Amino acid sequence: MGFLDKAKSAAEQAATRAKEGVEDVQTKLKLDRAYQDLGRTAFDLMERGELTHERLTPQADEIRRIQAEAAATPGAQATAGANPAP
Total domains in the fold of the chain: 1
User: Which ranges constitute the DSSP H helices of the chain?
Assistant: 3-47, 57-72, 77-80
- Is 84 domain-assigned? no
Per-residue pLDDT, 67: 96
Instruction: Look up the domain containing 63 and give its range.
Output: 24-73
Q: State the pLDDT at residue 70.
A: 96
Asked if residue 39 is part of any domain, the answer here is yes
Kindly report, residue by residue over 57-79, the tens digit of the pLDDT.
Answer: 999 999 999 999 999 988 765 55
> Is the residue at 86 inside a domain?
no
Between 14 and 82, whose confidence is greater? Answer: 14
Contact status, residue 42 vs residue 52, Cβ threshold 8 Å: no
Per-residue pLDDT for 85 more than 60? no
Q: pTM (2 decimals)?
A: 0.63
| Angle at alpha carbon of residue 18, lines to 13 and 22, rounded to 5° | 150
